[in-house]
A and B are shown apart, each in its own frame.
Chain A
Amino acid sequence: MERDDIIEYSLDAHHSEEEGRRIRRKIWMVTLFLAVVTTVEVTLGAYWKEWFDASAWNAIKWTYVVLTLVKATYIVMSFMHLGDERRNIRAIILLPYALFILYLVFIAIFESNYVHQIWVRFL
């Protein structure tokens, strides 16, 4: 069934042999970056107790959170091509999600602190 009133956006994504080479190089660079970050995370997880004392745990914890968000950004923007889409589609996907999750995380940390204090006091 041919319909000439529908614009075929799927064809916009086609690219040439030469552009393909450039895109593939970028893919392998992102891969290398993700592999290095994961290696750092695992090594830190396995050996941090031998390298630092217990007070370093808080800093390591936040390092993990930041590295995870960096990895997630590269996966979403590069592998899922969201960085190549228009700005308005990027906004309607990321902004409502970010808004909701920031609130959920905030309320969970706040409430769990409170519940913890109650349990320490009454158990």
Chain B
Amino acid sequence: MAGDASKALSNDVLWGGGRSPFSISYGKMMMWFFLVSDALTFSGLLTAYGFVRHSTTEAWPIGEEVFRALPGLTGSYPLVYVALMTAILIFSSVTMVLAVEAGHRMDKKGVIKWLFLTVLGGAFFVGSQAWEWSHFIHGGGGYITTNAGVKYWVHNDTHDTHDPSNAPGFHLVQADPRHYLIPAEGAHHLDHAESLKLWSERANYVDGANMIHNEYGPPQYANFFFFITGFHGFHVFSGVIINLIVLIMVIQGVFHRRGHYEMVEKAGLYWHFVDLVWVFVFTFFYLL
């Protein structure tokens, strides 16, 4: 039995080819297809995060209480650092679109200038994320859980987390059971002797964050933080490398000889996508 594949068809019923029905080059279309599939991956991750957060019966941490530190400063600056990272990434997206615009005018100098700023912004973002990971992993002092299941924040003057009970100013503060990060209603700073007694009777001591437990909330919270921001951070890192390679090719004049700067546009699509994903991560991980 002959199938369609072996049957000779009249050319009148076939699309003759010769031009793209989309008026778009092959490379750009394939970049869009890749971005759609990559967007599905990120959507899957964020939806999984939403699923876990929505179904859990435990208290879930809130972004403005977890992320409120700035490098080199003490005190509380809720979301300021993340907002700064967002601003850097959006700004590097703007310089990228300006590089693409310069490419459309065959302005080689303009492309170099804006693409260089884009690479710089991306590198800044990756560095900021490294600091945030480091801060998230080291934590703010940690808490102990007593045999009765009560949680106490560990305080000391030097932020020593290896041997906190011997550090100066060591004392405990009872934590809100429904809410890891704030003190319990009417909780006071326990005195040194009482703190030492509770410390020696502790069931466990959780400090900072790793894949098994963390001081912010349920284990899945840190796991999703590492996976989602890590996967996004890896995209930014590879975007910086791609932009750097394109920048070197622009400086060498490869695209000027070719007669168009479409490679900048394709790298730009990827770079804007990275920015787009961050807009969603920012909302669903940090704000909500």
Contacts and interface: CB of A to CB of B under 8 A. Distances in A.
Interface string B244-288: 000000000000000110100100110011011001101100111
Interface of A: 5, 7-17, 20, 23-24, 27-28, 31, 34-35, 38-39, 41-42, 45-46, 61, 64-65, 67-68, 71-72, 75-76, 78-81, 85-86, 88-89, 92-93, 96-97, 100-101, 104-105, 108-109, 111-113, 115-116, 119-120, 123
9 contacts: A5-B18, A20-B101, A20-B104, A31-B90, A45-B64, A61-B288, A75-B279, A86-B24, A119-B56
Contacts of B259: 8, 11
Interface stretch (B32-40, B137-145, B170-178, B215-223): B32-40
Contacts, number: 160
Contact of B22 (A61, A88, A109): A88
B15 interface: no
B283 A41 contact: yes
Interface string B61-82: 0011000000000000011101
A14 B47 contact: no
Contacts of B29: 89
B118 interface: no
Instruction: Describe B's contact surface by its main secondary structure.
Output: helix
B47 A24 contact: no
B205 to A, nearest CB: 25
A104 B44 contact: yes
Contact of A85 (B24, B80, B279): B24
B94 A15 contact: no
A81 B29 CA distance: 13
A14 B106 contact: yes
B17 to A, nearest CB: 10
B105 interface: yes
Contacts of A45: 63-64, 78-79, 286-287
Contacts of B269: 80
Nearest to A27: B97
